Amino acid sequence: MDNVNSRCELREKYLKAMNLISSKNVEVELFEKAVVSGRLEIVRPDGSHILLSKMVTPIGVHEQAVLRSNDVVLMRTSFKDLDFPPFVSK
């Protein structure tokens, strides 16, 4: 039962984190060392796809783009953009 509770807690934290950074500017590192940036609009609840708007790539800007989570190595955002404890500036 501990394993189930741990997985449930991790899933809840993941969903809260994705909710916190939605509508924020993010930088996404993809495989093959490609880096794109844009505004995170939504992440599918199962985490399989990410929708970015105004995605900037080395070859241009795309109004909207869907990234597969399997292609994402990491996603960054600025802590100063987050307005939720413990990220709130005092």
Sheet strand arrangement including 72-76: 60-68, 49-57, 35-43, 25-30, 72-76
Helix (H) or strand (E) holding 39: strand 35-43
Domains identified in the chain, total number: 1
pLDDT-based confidence at residue 18 (cuts at 50, 70, 90):
confident
**Threshold 0.85, pTM exceeds:** no
Is residue 87 a part of any domain in this protein? no
Domain of 7, in residue numbers: 2-81
Measured in degrees and rounded to the nearest 5, phi and psi for residue 46 equal: -85, 0
Does residue 60 surpass a pLDDT of 60?
yes
Asked if 21 and 37 touch (Cβ cutoff 8 Å), the reply is: no
Q: Over range 48-61, report the average pLDDT.
A: 95
Does residue 30 surpass a pLDDT of 90?
yes
Residue 88 buriedness (CB in 10 A; 0-12 / 13-18 / 19+): exposed
For residue 50, the domain's CATH number is: 2.30.30.100
